[in-house]
Amino acid sequence: MPPHRLPLYHRQRPVVRCVNFLCAVLLTLVLIAGIILFVLWLSLRPHRPRFYLTDFSIPTANRQSGLANLPVRFAVGEHNPNQKIGIYYEEIVASVYYGDQLVAKGPVMQPFYQAPKGDTPLLGQLTATGPTPTDPAWGRFSGELSAGTVAMRLLLTSTVQFKVKICGTPSTTT
């Protein structure tokens, strides 16, 4: 047959066409499942709880006796921004630092559950262990105290579990 008479389209064998069709269907299903999983992940992924310090004080702190045995009081607000995810908190332990020096540490709240979109106040009181006038950091601390502003760091630690509720199904904890 001369070259101008060749067919323009070469028909594939039925087996090859069937395999191509099955691959296209499989890839389409994988793409649709991926989109559905992505949307579910976006709607159900847990957001971190938000903490904000509302009050912090060490009453009766003075420059002569140090902080040992003085109460350290604080109030922290906690907000769960999730719409369908509750949070279980284990015991919350607070640590107060002045620079790198531990000033006070102890448990401030027993285990509790926080509902979705919930707010929980955390009121804590610890007993300070330092710095004392014999500590090397006391001079700097005393100077900041007389100036009226002392930079301290409050660290809250706890183990959390998320409780997910999906469309009326029994809740699951992860």
Per the domain annotation, does 126 fall within a domain?
yes
What CATH number should be reported for the domain holding residue 129?
2.60.40
**Enclosing domain of residue 58:** 50-173
Considering the domain architecture, whether residues 56 and 24 belong to the same structural domain is answered as no
Work out the average pLDDT over 12-28. Answer: 90
Residue 39, class by beta-carbon neighbours within 10 Å (0-12 exposed, 13-18 middle, 19+ buried)?
A: exposed
Task: Please give the model's pTM, rounded to 2 decimal places.
Answer: 0.68
User: Does pLDDT of 171 surpass 60?
Assistant: no
Percent of the chain with pLDDT over 90: 43
Residues 32 and 55 in one domain: no
Same domain, 24 and 99: no
In a domain, 146, yes or no: yes
pLDDT at 167 over 70: no
Q: Are residues 121 and 62 in the same domain?
A: yes
Over the stretch 85-123, which tens digit does the pLDDT of each residue have?
889 999 999 999 988 888 899 999 999 999 989 999 999
Distance between CA atoms of residues 2 and 4, nearest Å? 6
The more confidently predicted of residues 150 and 23 is 23
Residue 158 CA to residue 109 CA, distance in Å, equals: 10
> Within a domain: residue 165?
yes
117 and 58 in one domain? yes
